[in-house]
């Protein structure tokens, strides 16, 4: 299929919207990105990235210069000048576990009011099953001009840290829709991307995203549970994961023991899925347990630190890594938040370093911790070194220098970045997850 340039508006220019909009421009479409956060748009208009995502800055600038990508704070401009509207606003969960759809609803109303011709409205945000129906009802109810439209669910599977690559070279593209007109347009949009396209009804596409994230969370909690036993019986969780992963029915990815999953998606999507099941009369006990294992994993890690130091009161702890995973500045639901708060509650004094997430971490921890600008400044005179994110920079640190700087030789590694035997040979009192 030959590329037909489609005029696209992306509403919500966050971690997903900015990557999606930029990459759609990169593959040849005409893209307008809109966000109601004026500061964010102003930064993008001035070529300043509001988030850290490797490779994204270059693509934004390149596509702006090519005239394919622009940023606006007026939704009217975006909707009127586009044929397809991608909705990528956030969909947080409320305390009850129910998804807060207020951002989606308010955007749907705004689209309805400004729609002046046939539009395809695409849900990029992760939305509970049956949200497509709701969007359709809202748009029908609020549409001021009687124009035709289609609603499509096109869940996003990108991972922060590798988002550009994930979008441009995806493993699959899922499109849920109910008209052949919308299908033709969606296929035109994605025609430069080589990946299997799975076309389903809207509800199935919505469920695919939920089921995928729930399964990924399950893999993480499963291996974390295994890790807890390994430590007691003298087995090695890394070797177990490697051997299990060679079985194609299982696969290696996400079988990584650590301090539990975090980030803006897995926790919230598991909560939302549990809620959806309950609403539909099914008690999905497995998912509730997955969530519980994840919480206990963080508590067990704090206990491990405490056991190592006997007492946390007044102890100086050097924390390496704050972001929920490497190569991002995203602190949403990062395991570091619960862990550091628990350590502080027990009297520990925290110095921390993260290569990228310092500014976002400041909004979370405020003055509760000291922010350092490199590994060695963090570690100096600390009673123990604690690793919470597996940044490459930490894997390459000068361990001899670390040994000299630390007050004791204690390292508690929540991400298994070193080999325990080698660390002991180097004279460290080293503990990690699921390995002895």
Q: Which of 26, 35, 231, 271 binds ligand NAD (CB under 6 A)?
A: 35
Q: Per CB under 6 A, which region of 11-19, 238-246, 253-261, 352-360 contacts ligand NAD?
A: 11-19
Which residues contact residue 89 at a Cβ distance below 8 angstroms, ignoring those fewer than 6 apart?
11, 12, 14, 17, 103, 104, 107, 125
CA 257 – CA 243 distance, rounded (Å): 14
DSSP secondary structure string for all residues of 361-387: HHHHHTTSSEEPSSHHHHHTT-SEEEE
Residues in the chain: 436
Between 16 and 350, whose beta carbon lies closer to ligand NAD? 16
User: What is the closest distance, in whole angstroms, from the C-beta atom of residue 142 to ligand NAD in the complex?
Assistant: 14
Closest CB to ligand NAD among residues 156, 238: 156
Out of 49, 54, 64, 103, the residue judged to bind ligand NAD by CB under 6 A: 103
What tokens does 47 get? 């070529």
Q: Work out whether 431 is an interface residue with ligand NAD (CB under 6 A).
A: no
Q: Tell which one of 15, 324, 353, 430 touches ligand NAD (CB under 6 A).
A: 15
- Binding flag, residue 360, ligand NAD (CB under 6 A): no
Supply angle C-alpha 182, 154, 324, rounded to 5.
Answer: 165
Determine if 90 is a binding residue for ligand NAD (CB under 6 A): yes
Among 29, 40, 210, 291, binds ligand NAD (CB under 6 A): 40
Q: Which stretch binds ligand NAD (CB under 6 A): 142-150, 153-161, 193-201, 218-226?
A: 153-161
Which of 9, 23, 265, 432 is an active site residue? 265
Distance CA 22, CA 28 (A): 10
13 vs 30, beta carbon nearer ligand NAD? 13
CB-based burial of residue 313 (10 Å sphere; 0-12 exposed, 13-18 middle, 19+ buried)? Answer: exposed
Q: Per CB under 6 A, does 53 bind ligand NAD?
A: no
Does residue 23 carry a catalytic annotation?
A: no
Closest CA to 29 of 74, 81, 80, 73: 81
Q: Which of 223, 238, 389, 387 is nearest to 294 (CA)?
A: 223
Decide if residue 107 touches ligand NAD (CB under 6 A): yes
From 33-41, 192-200, 319-327, 412-420, span contacting ligand NAD (CB under 6 A): 33-41
The residue number with the shortest CB distance to ligand NAD is 14
d(CA 84, CA 378): 49
Q: Does 156 participate in binding ligand NAD (rule CB under 6 A)?
A: yes
Q: Is 238:257 a contact under the CB 8 Å cutoff?
A: yes
Scan residues 113-132 and list those touching ligand NAD (CB under 6 A): 125-126
Check binding of 160 to ligand NAD (CB under 6 A).
yes
Q: Which is nearer to ligand NAD, 36 or 179 (CB)?
A: 36
Q: Of all helices (H) and strands (E), which one includes residue 45?
A: helix 38-45
Residue of 24, 158, 317, 343 that binds ligand NAD (CB under 6 A): 158
The answer to the question of residue 324 lying near ligand NAD (CB under 6 A) is no
Phi, psi of 297 (to 5 degrees): -60, -40
DSSP, collapsed to helix, strand or coil, labels residue 202 as helix
- Torsion on CA atoms 211, 217, 219, 223, rounded to nearest 10: -160
With respect to ligand NAD, which residue has the nearer C-beta, 53 or 413? 53
Q: Interacting stretch for ligand NAD, rule CB under 6 A, among 156-164, 271-279, 364-372, 377-385?
A: 156-164
Q: How far is the CB of 197 from ligand NAD (least distance, A)?
A: 18
Query: What is the number of alpha carbons within 13 Å of residue 298 lying toward its C-beta?
Result: 20
Is 435:261 a contact under the CB 8 Å cutoff?
no
Q: Which residues are catalytic?
A: 265
């Amino acid at each position: 299929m030959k590329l037909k340039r489609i005029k696209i508006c992306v509403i919500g220019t966050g971690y997903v919207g900015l990557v999606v909009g930029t990459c759609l421009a990169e593959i040849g479409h005409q893209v307008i990105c809109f966000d109601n956060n004026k500061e964010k748009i102003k930064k993008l208009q001035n070529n300043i990235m509001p988030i850290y995502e490797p490779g994204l800055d270059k693509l934004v600038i390149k596509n702006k210069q090519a005239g394919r990508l622009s940023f606006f704070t007026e939704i009217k401009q975006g909707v009127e000048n586009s044929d397809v509207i991608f909705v990528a606003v956030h969909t947080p969960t409320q305390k009850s576990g129910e998804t807060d759809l207020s951002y989606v609803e308010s955007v749907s109303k705004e689209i309805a009011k400004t729609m002046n011709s046939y539009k395809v409205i695409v849900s990029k945000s992760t939305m509970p099953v049956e949200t497509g129906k709701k969007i359709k009802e809202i748009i029908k109810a609020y549409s001021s001009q009687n124009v035709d439209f289609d609603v499509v669910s096109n869940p996003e599977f990108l991972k922060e840290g590798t988002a550009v690559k994930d979008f441009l070279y995806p493993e699959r593209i899922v499109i849920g829709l109910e008209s052949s007109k919308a299908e033709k347009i969606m296929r035109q949009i994605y025609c430069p991307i080589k990946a299997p396209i799975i076309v389903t009804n809207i509800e199935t596409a919505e469920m695919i995203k939920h089921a995928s994230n729930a399964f990924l969370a399950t893999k993480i909690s499963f291996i974390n549970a295994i890790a807890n036993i390994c430590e007691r019986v003298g087995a090695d969780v890394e070797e177990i994961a490697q051997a299990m992963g060679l079985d194609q029915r299982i696969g290696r990815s996400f079988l990584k023991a650590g301090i539990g999953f975090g980030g803006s998606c897995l926790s919230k999507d598991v909560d939302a899925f549990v809620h959806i099941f309950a609403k539909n009369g099914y008690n999905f006990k497995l998912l509730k347990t997955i969530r519980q294992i994840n919480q206990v994993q963080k508590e067990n890690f704090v206990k491990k630190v405490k056991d190592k130091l006997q007492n946390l009161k007044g102890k100086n702890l050097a924390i390496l890594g704050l972001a929920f995973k490497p190569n991002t500045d995203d602190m949403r639901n990062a395991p570091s938040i619960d862990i550091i708060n628990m350590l502080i509650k027990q009297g520990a004094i925290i110095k921390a370093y993260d290569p990228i997430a310092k500014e976002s971490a400041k909004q979370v921890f405020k003055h509760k911790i000291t922010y350092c600008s490199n590994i060695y400044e963090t570690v100096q005179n600390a009673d123990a070194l604690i690793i919470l994110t597996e940044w490459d920079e930490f894997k390459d640190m000068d361990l001899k220098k670390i040994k000299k700087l630390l007050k004791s030789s204690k390292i508690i590694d929540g991400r298994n970045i070193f080999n325990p035997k080698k660390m002991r040979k180097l004279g460290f009192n080293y503990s990690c997850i699921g390995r002895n």
